Amino acid sequence: MNQYDAIVIGAGHNGLTNGAYLAKAGLKVAVLERNPYIGGATVSRELHKGWYYSNCSYVASLLRPEITRDLELPRHGLQVVPFGGGATFMRNGDHLGSYSDHDRHYREIARHSKRDANAYDRYVSDTSRQTKLIRPYLLKTAPDPTSLKPRDLRDLVDFARSFTSMGEEGLLDTIKFWTGSVGDYLNEYFETDVLKAHLAGSGIIGTALGVYSPGTAYVLLHHYMGDVDGNVGAWGFARGGMGAIADALSKAFQSYGGDVICDANVDEIIVRDGQAKGVALKDGTEYHADIVVSNLDPKRTFLDITNPKDLPEDVLQKARNFKIRGSSGKLNIALDGLPIFNGLDPRSRLMAGDLHFSDSLERQERAYDDWKNGTWSKDPYLDMMIPSLTDPTMAPPGKHMMSVFVQYAPPKIEGRDWTDEDKDGFEKSVLDQISNYSPNFRDLILHCETRTPREIEAEVGLTEGNIFMGELTFDQLLFNRPFPGYAQYRGPIKGMYMCSSGTHPGGGVMAAPGANAAREILMDLKRPNTVPGGYADD
């Protein structure tokens, strides 16, 4: 009854994707989920009657279109609707809007600086060049530079070739970009504080680094890597909230004969004679399989659900040193109506985009200083959206749902655990930030769910509440993700695999780690591959 070919731990989007591809290859697969509901951080929850919260991840862009199509997710109910617009509100009452139309966007930046409006085009081309470099590797396993296997050597040569084709200066500029800070990078293009701040947000979201920390330029790139219908860098909402993605993946998985088992809290991976044999739940139930795939982050995988005696010392060491830092919080708010923002026509389509309230790099960096000092940002960087302006299913007609992503919130407050008072303080600093720019906002609040790293960790199981399941810094990317030597989805135990966002190519609702891991597993089983290759990026 409890015998499977493969068991996947965690019914987040990567676990379900992984399960779907294994099941599609004919394996008998169970995906086990600790919570009574699936989705992990890809959920929609009705926490206030009539309002659905995408209470963790809140926008879709990175979800690989190859996977969406191959698993027939649209047939299973998934609809991703792009949104446009956005704005950064300024302390002087003005704002910088973000328009999808090139000329309109030009005019908006030109209001602040003509030079910047012009330089923006150069910025877009230069950034696209970097994006194009990395996109082909999303649905591939990262080659191991320490390996001499023909496959790794071949991939490394391909990798090197795509870099060297840029020419000496192009390549050096790429290395500069990958190792530099988003602040320095933007300073090389722009003179306007608000524009730099507007763009820099993508360099710090989900990251325990500041805009002046080297390495954040790459994080910016990570947010530009996705696309909606071929529009690279575009973002959209899953209709019905992010849970719609998990639901569609789950249906696809089940259509291939897979079992989703909820309320199944894994205690330990069963290992016999160096071979994974299944999992034991906290309630004592056992599920058996020769393939066990962990969709938990690397710390939980190796430090929580694996017996240390089954692991080599270097893996334990690497897992302990793995950087997975809580740096973000989230507020989900049910609103009685549409808030009005200073200086912006409420009918403006900018309202349907992502709204921010930090108008300079300095304010963003100071927000990070608070995090370093072990407290939440007193002047936080917010990525705020009102998805109900795009998706009518999120709130009753005329009412609205607001999603507020907050940077920064530390995993611990000055070294101790979060208390409820801390949580209230955190909530207040976020609500104050929005109220500063919206006079009627506070009066519209019907319900507010506040999630600090404590809640995110407790409910979703992301260590420290880190949304990417591990910092997206170069030491933890590509062949270093999660750690050198284990970056090809295989764990140190035979039959044990990893498929979470803690593996290449990293976090965001991309589903690529799940798919890539499935390809490796099927290769080990000598089964035909069911995972699609990436579309050629022309």
Partner 1 sequence: MTDYDAIIIGAGHNGLICGAYLAKAGNKVLVVDGRDQPGGCASTREIAPGFQVSDCAQWLQQFDDAVVRDLGLDKAGLQVGAAKRTIALQADGDHLTIDGDLLRGAGIGTQDQAAYQSFRQQIDVFAKLMLKLYRSRAPKLVEADWSDRVTLMKLGLGLKMMGKANMQDLMRLALINIYDVMNENFDHPGLKAALAMDAITGTNMGPRSPNTVYTYLHRAMGRQLQQGGVSQVMGGMGALGTALQKAAEACGVRVQLGSSVQQILKEGDRVTGVVLADGSSLRATAVISSADPTTTFRDLLGYQHLETGMARRVAQYRTRSGTAKLHLALSGLPAFSGLEGKALAQRLVIAPTMDAIESAFNPLKYSECGPSQVFDISIPSIEDASLAPEGQHVLTALVHYLPYEPDGGWQSQRQPVLDNLLAQLEHYAPGLKEQVVASELLVPPDIEAAFGVTGGNWHHGELSIDQALMMRPFPGSTQYRTAVDGLFLCGAGAHPGGSLMGLPGRNAAQEIIKQGVLS
Partner 2 sequence: MNAPQRDTMLLPTPFHSRVEAMCELNDWGNWMGYTTPNAYFDVELEYFAIRSTTGVFDLSPMNKYRITGPDAEAFLNRMVTRNVSKLGVNRVGYAVWCNDAGEVMDDGTIFRLGEQDFRLCSYQRADDWLHWCTLGFDVTISNESEDIAGLAVQGPTSCTVLKLLGCTDLDQLKPFGIAHFTFEGAPMMVSRTGFTGDLGYEVWVAPAQAEALWDQLFELGRDYLIKPIGSYALDIARIEAGFLQAHVDFVPSEEVVRNGRTRSPFELGLEWLVDFSKPLFNGRAALLAEKARGSRYRFAMLDIEGNKPAEHSFIMKGDKVVGTVTSAAWCPTVKSNLAYAQIEMPHGAVGDQLTAEIYYQRELHWTRLMAPCKVIDGPLFNPKRRRQTPAPPF
Residue 125 binds: one of partner 2, partner 1, none (C-beta under 5 to 8 A by kind): partner 2
Among 46, 151, 170, 533, binds partner 2 (CB under 8 A): 170
Residue 188 binds: one of partner 2, partner 1, none (C-beta under 5 to 8 A by kind): partner 1
Q: Tell whether residue 485 is a contact of partner 1 (CB under 8 A).
A: yes
What is the three-class DSSP state of 364?
Answer: helix
Q: Tell whether residue 342 is a contact of partner 2 (CB under 8 A).
A: no
Q: Tell whether residue 362 is a contact of partner 1 (CB under 8 A).
A: yes
Q: Tell whether residue 121 is a contact of partner 1 (CB under 8 A).
A: no
What is the three-class DSSP state of 268?
Answer: strand
CB 498 within 8 A of CB 506: no
Q: Residues near 225 by Cβ (< 8 Å), separated by ≥ 6?
A: 62, 131, 134, 135, 138, 232, 233
Task: Please give the Cα distance from 538 to 535 (Å, whole number).
Answer: 9
Residue 366 binds: one of partner 2, partner 1, none (C-beta under 5 to 8 A by kind): partner 1
Compare residues 418 and 479 and give the one whose CB is closer to partner 1: 479
**Which residue carries 């731990």 as its tokens?**
9
Residue 114 binds: one of partner 1, partner 2, none (C-beta under 5 to 8 A by kind): partner 2
Q: Could you tell me if residue 206 is left (phi over 0), alpha (psi between -120 and 50 degrees) or otherwise beta? A: left
Q: Residues near 417 by Cβ (< 8 Å), separated by ≥ 6?
A: 454
Task: Please give the Cα distance from 436 to 451 (Å, whole number).
Answer: 21
Among 54, 375, 480, 501, binds partner 1 (CB under 8 A): 480
Dihedral (CA of 310, 515, 473, 163) sign: positive
Task: Please give the Cα distance from 89 to 71 (Å, whole number).
Answer: 40
Q: Tell whether residue 167 is a contact of partner 2 (CB under 8 A).
A: yes
Among 172, 312, 392, 439, binds partner 1 (CB under 8 A): 172
List the structure tokens of 419. 């208390």
Task: In angstroms, give the least distance from the CB of 133 to partner 1.
Answer: 14
Residue 432's nearest CA partner among 380, 383, 371 is 380
Task: Please give the Cα distance from 70 to 67 (Å, whole number).
Answer: 5
Span of 276-284, 470-478, 512-520, 522-530 interacting with partner 1 by CB under 8 A: 470-478
Among 69, 75, 91, 114, binds partner 2 (CB under 8 A): 114
Q: Residues near 141 by Cβ (< 8 Å), separated by ≥ 6?
A: 155, 488, 489, 504, 516, 519, 520
Q: Tell whether residue 492 is a contact of partner 1 (CB under 8 A).
A: no
Task: In angstroms, give the least distance from the CB of 165 to partner 2.
Answer: 5
Residue 101 binds: one of partner 1, partner 2, none (C-beta under 5 to 8 A by kind): partner 2
Dihedral (CA of 197, 198, 203, 204) sign: positive
Q: Tell whether residue 535 is a contact of partner 2 (CB under 8 A).
A: no
List the structure tokens of 47. 């926490």
Residue 298's nearest CA partner among 465, 516, 462 is 462
Task: Please give the Cα distance from 229 to 61 (Å, whole number).
Answer: 9
Q: Tell whether residue 91 is a contact of partner 2 (CB under 8 A).
A: no
Among 72, 101, 121, 314, binds partner 1 (CB under 8 A): 314
Residue 431 binds: one of partner 1, partner 2, none (C-beta under 5 to 8 A by kind): none
Query: Total residues contacting partner 2 (rule CB under 8 A)?
Result: 31
Strands 400-407, 381-385: pairing kind? antiparallel
Task: Please give the Cα distance from 352 to 394 (Å, whole number).
Answer: 13
Site string for partner 2, 347-386 (x = CB under 8 A): -xxx------------------------------------
List the structure tokens of 187. 């300073």
**Which residue carries 């299913």 as its tokens?**
393
Among 125, 230, 273, 283, binds partner 2 (CB under 8 A): 125
Task: Please give the Cα distance from 344 to 85 (Å, whole number).
Answer: 13
Q: Tell whether residue 119 is a contact of partner 2 (CB under 8 A).
A: yes
Stretch 44-83 residues interacting with partner 2 (CB under 8 A): none
Q: Tell whether residue 176 is a contact of partner 2 (CB under 8 A).
A: no
Among 38, 109, 119, 209, binds partner 1 (CB under 8 A): 209
Among 48, 115, 239, 494, binds partner 2 (CB under 8 A): 115
Q: Tell whether residue 463 is a contact of partner 1 (CB under 8 A).
A: no
Query: Total residues contacting partner 1 (rule CB under 8 A)?
Result: 42
Task: In angstroms, give the least distance from the CB of 43 to partner 1.
Answer: 32
Residue 467's nearest CA partner among 210, 241, 206, 223 is 206
Contacts to partner 1 by CB under 8 A: 145-146, 163-164, 166-169, 171-173, 175-177, 179-180, 184, 187-188, 209, 212-215, 314, 321, 323, 362, 365-366, 369, 372-373, 473-476, 479-480, 483-485
- Interface with partner 2 (CB under 8 A): 94, 97, 99, 101, 103-104, 106-108, 111, 114-119, 121-122, 125, 128-129, 132, 165-167, 169-170, 343, 348-350
